[in-house]
A and B are shown apart, each in its own frame.
Chain A
Amino acid sequence: MTRRVLVHVGTPKTGTSYLQDVLFRNRELLLEHDVLYPADRFDAHFLAALDLMRLPWGGLEQEALGRWDELAAQVRAHHGTAIVSHEILARASATQAAEALASFDEPGGEPAEIHLLLSGRDLVRQVPAEWQENVKHRSTLTYERFLARLRDPERSSRIGSWFWAVQEIPDILDRWGALVPPERVHLITVPPPGGDPDLLWQRFSSAFGLDGLDLELDTTRSNPSMGVPETALLRRINASTNKRVPPAHYRTLVRELVAHQTLSPRRDSPRLAVPPDLHDWLHELQSRWVAEVRDRGYDVVGDLDDLLSQPTVAAEDFADPDRPDEADVADAALATIGAVLQEQVREREDRAAEQARAREVEDDLRRQLTDVHEALARSYLRPSYLHRERIVRGLEGSRVGRVSMRVYRAARGRSSRSA
């Protein structure tokens, strides 16, 4: 049987979390069909990707040490189809990509049939999504400055370098596809908004060869986006609290509680969009990508025209997150304060309940101790005990008596002295 390895390398914000969650939740069913998704959590390949690319990531790199080798070993040991998927793999250099693909083969063994998969979306949706993702990771950069860094042809900033490394589809395919025949390179396009919500999954399913499997598709895993005033508020929160909130608390309090649970569900606010004056530039850029991909003869799952940027809002409706409606921001801030207070109340109630439970245990122990004391006192009051106590006290008053007591205790098999 041919060993096949499906390597899905991005791009971010193309439904990858959903895909990985479906693969993870159905991994036992998949294995029954000889498809291996080697993961102990839905995004397990994130750590492996960090390890491959030698990327520090707020302390997580320590957990990542050796993870790529572990993943590659699991892939090598499987004789059917194995799936590796994480969107930050799009950032790998050509050398790292070659190393990764080589790691799926035993030295001197039969090489695996490698398939490279890349999911892509139009830049009009990717650009604001990436800025928002930065803000959700403590960035204080304004939208304007973020866009200026994307437009820098040198890509010398961390922002510009990262964005294009994980978004420029022909370049990603150059790096990852250099050693893979074009017919084994599969480009999955994300459908434009407003269409069939299942279409993206159908494309993933087709590209990964999962059609016909009865997979559980209901998942709560999603990466919800925030609106303009909400993102503006979060950026301001970062600017004022970054130095005081350690990374671990930021993850739970700010990203989870504030961004995901409180601000993202607010759907009435204006959506983030690309400024109208950038549409032509982005459209032209992606037209060149589409032409290049078409020429290379890759397998396209979906429609390449999906990648051509179309404005998501009318020019007159564009809301600038650097100059948001302050009333909307205040409204979002009130919701945030409410959520944080509610969390405080919940924590205090939990703590109070915990303390009440601890008090109950303490009271119970105290009751048991009192019972023991009372039982002891009762036994002390028995005439036979009082008689024995008098004898012992008498014996311990003389040397001969003490020696007799030691002999008696040794004979009884008890070496400890009486209380």
Chain B
Amino acid sequence: MSDPAAIRAWSWVAHLRDGGAAPWTGWSAQVGSTDGPATTGPRVLPGAQQLELLRRVNAAGDLPVAARDRVLLASGLDRGRADLPLPGGPRTSFGPLPLDPAEVPTDELLRVAVLLLADALPGAPVTRPVTAPPTRASRLRRAAGGGYRVVGDPWLAARVREELRRRGRPPGGRRPRVLVLGGSVPDLLARTWAHRVLHEGAPRWPDWIAARAGGALPPGADVAGQAEAWASRVGAARVVVVTDPAALGRLTGVRRLDPDTALGPWGARGPGGDAVELARRVRVALAVVAPPHEHAALLRERLLPALAVRSARPGSTAPASGPLPRVPAEHAEWAARRAVRQRRRVLRAGYAVAGDVDDLLPGRPGVVPDPPGRDVPDPERVLEIAVSLLAQGLVPGGGDDRAGHGSEHGGERA
């Protein structure tokens, strides 16, 4: 005899496999529905986590049915809750308590989403920065002592170097001028964390910042320290601390280097904390997908371009995938003290400063304040970004290469 609860559950699975986004609560099976799996797709009922994730992905985009099945068959990363049964679904006297999919905790949905994204990365389109051969003018400038190095803020410096290489103006040369990119310490910390996540990996933002608070600034945020190190090699007269990214074009001899357009969708500001947190979680998931030496490249060349596409999409509600993560209140005083000390060291050493040296301090105009009460990374926003990436086709074996198109800074597809 057919089990009405099983009919209801399997008909909802069929609805989701068809791209539907109706919630489980209030769902009723249509006449003729069966109480078992379809000939293709999952053979056993997926958990509430997978079903709810697919419902959200369906609401955000249109995937082929094979990709929807991937979501339903996905595992959750690491030890979290077991796959949860549906309330009002087939009878289960044992196992975890049923839970309405709409009430599945965000972290549980993220466990499934990040493993799906990690599984998708090896097959995702690759975007690498374009490098043009040095122009004649560049070679002459370098030979004549007009070369440059860009250091300091690790996120911004990497983007600037990429852009200049793309224009045939690679860094280096005899006795180069060293441009140390600076900013307010909280922003530098946020971008240093982002850089670490994408390169060698890093813990959650609150843990990362707590481990540094009270001590020295990490090298990426230590503008004065980097300036001193370079001054000892090339002389203080050839070191310029740059607090105004708009001055970079003039300093490197490149016309129209507008940071807001030339440095990718995030400009000089860097990616938002929610996007970086997603990258961090995907990196953790990569542990069960690919060998460690591939992780950084998978994030930088495949996930980051997909995030950039999402951020650059017209009408995107989060053009930079959220604000930078904020230094928690308990560490704000430490960051402010370090900023004051950093500014004092820069002034005392007598370096040239492009911009306002007071921009090394927190809370200056130009630093967009976080909306009141907004704490980042926010798991809900992180999940929102993950769902939108899955909906735009970043699903294992999805075969949809929309991700990676339209890179704003001239990426090349490998």
Contact = CB atoms under 8 A, between A and B. Distances in A.
Report whether chain A binds chain B: yes
Interface of A: 50-51, 53-56, 61-62, 64-65, 93-99, 102, 153-156, 158, 161-162, 164-165, 168, 170-171, 174-175, 178-179, 288-289, 292
A87 to B, nearest CB: 15
Taking chain B's interface residues, is the majority helix, strand, or loop, or is none over half, making it mixed?
loop
A95 B115 contact: no
Contacts of A161: 79-82, 96
Interface stretch (B6-14, B38-46, B397-405): B38-46
Given A62-B291, A161-B81, 4 more contacts: A61-B288, A153-B97, A154-B97, A155-B82
Given A61-B288, A170-B93, A178 B75 contact: no
Taking chain A's interface residues, is the majority helix, strand, or loop, or is none over half, making it mixed?
helix
A56 B201 CA distance: 16
Contacts of B288: 50-51, 54-56, 61, 64-65
B97 A56 contact: no
A126 to B, nearest CB: 16
Given A54-B115, A55-B288, A171 B79 contact: no
A168 B94 contact: yes
Contacts of A168: 94-95
Contacts of A98: 42-44
B47 interface: yes
Nearest to A288: B93
A164 B94 CA distance: 10
A334 B96 CA distance: 44
B158 interface: no
Interface string B100-124: 0000000000000001000000000
Given A54-B288, A55-B78, A95 B73 contact: yes
Interface string B18-58: 00000000000000000000000011111100100000000
B287 interface: yes
Interface string B75-96: 1011111110000000011111
B61 interface: no
B92 A174 contact: yes
Minimum-distance CB pairs A-B, first 3: A171-B95, A171-B94, A94-B44
A165 B78 CA distance: 13
B292 interface: yes
A170 B94 contact: yes
A174 B47 CA distance: 14
Contact of B75 (A96, A153, A158, A171): A96
Contacts of A179: 43-44
Contacts of A164: 82, 95-96
A50 B288 CA distance: 9
A95 B81 contact: no
Contacts of A62: 287, 291-292
B95 A56 contact: no
B94 A99 contact: no
B16 interface: no
A185 B32 CA distance: 33
A156 B108 CA distance: 10
Nearest to A162: B79
Interface in B115-165: 115
A165 B82 contact: yes
Nearest to A64: B288
B44 A178 contact: yes
A28 B80 CA distance: 39
A56 B77 contact: yes
B97 A174 contact: no
Contacts of A99: 73
A93 B75 contact: yes
B284 interface: yes
A329 B215 CA distance: 38
Contacts of B46: 95
B83 A95 contact: yes
